[in-house]
């Protein structure tokens, strides 16, 4: 669940922590908390959006990857491209196949492998979803100029470079 703005610590509180803990940088914590709140809210909003179309964000991403690859992709390639484990991808593909949105076939050169392609029903689902999806995405970003969007992307790239510091043991 995303943090509500009123639940974020006040600047003064963060400054007090910075006085107690030399490692604390109040502005870094404040910016990070705002990023987490907004990203959680955006993720929840997109979750509701995709649910209206009978999808999850992960299933949508898989369909979009397949839409761009006429020849299809191996499940391992899909897992790598979408940033999920192979086991998670297997579950996603099972559900999409059961719903008739994808097709799994044996690889032409190596029958031990499978290739996943977008089924006609999957293409239709995307065609019904994408106009609304792109309209909502444009509306989400409408408060920013093109230059500000580019700045935001550049800043988020810099933030992403720091993620290993949070993950390291």
| Per-domain boundaries in the chain | 1-52, 55-160
Residues 39, 40, 41, CA angle at the centre, nearest 5°?
90
Reported as a single tens digit per residue, the pLDDT across 57-86 is 999 999 999 999 988 999 999 999 999 999
Reported as a single tens digit per residue, the pLDDT across 114-129 is 899 999 999 999 999 9
- Residue 25: predicted pLDDT: 79
Q: Where are the alpha helices (DSSP H) in 8-141?
A: 11-20, 26-52, 57-67, 75-82, 86-98, 120-140
Looking at the domain that runs over 55-160, which CATH code has it been given? Answer: 1.10.10.10
- Residue 33: predicted pLDDT: 87
Which residues, in sequence order, are CB contacts of 131 under 8 Å at separation 6+? none
Strand pairing partners for 102? Answer: 118
Structure confidence at residue 3 as a pLDDT band (50, 70, 90):
very low
- Residue 110: predicted pLDDT: 66
**Number of CB atoms found within 10 A of residue 24's CB:** 14
């Amino acid at each position: 669940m995303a943090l509500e703005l009123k639940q974020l610590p006040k600047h003064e509180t963060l400054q007090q922590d910075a006085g107690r803990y030399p490692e604390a940088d109040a502005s870094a914590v404040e910016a990070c908390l705002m990023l987490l709140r907004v990203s959680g809210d955006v993720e929840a909003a997109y979750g509701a959006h995709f649910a209206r179309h009978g999808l999850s964000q992960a299933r949508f991403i898989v369909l979009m990857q397949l839409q761009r690859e006429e020849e299809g992709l191996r499940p391992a390639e899909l897992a790598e491209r979408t940033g999920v484990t192979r086991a998670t991808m297997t579950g996603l593909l099972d559900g999409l196949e059961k719903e008739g949105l994808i097709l799994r076939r044996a690889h032409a050169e190596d029958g031990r492998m499978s290739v996943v392609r977008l089924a006609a029903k999957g293409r239709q689902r995307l065609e019904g979803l994408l106009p609304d999806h792109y309209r909502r995405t444009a509306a989400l970003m409408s408060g920013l100029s093109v230059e500000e969007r580019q700045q935001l992307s550049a800043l988020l790239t810099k933030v992403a470079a720091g993620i290993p510091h949070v993950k390291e043991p």
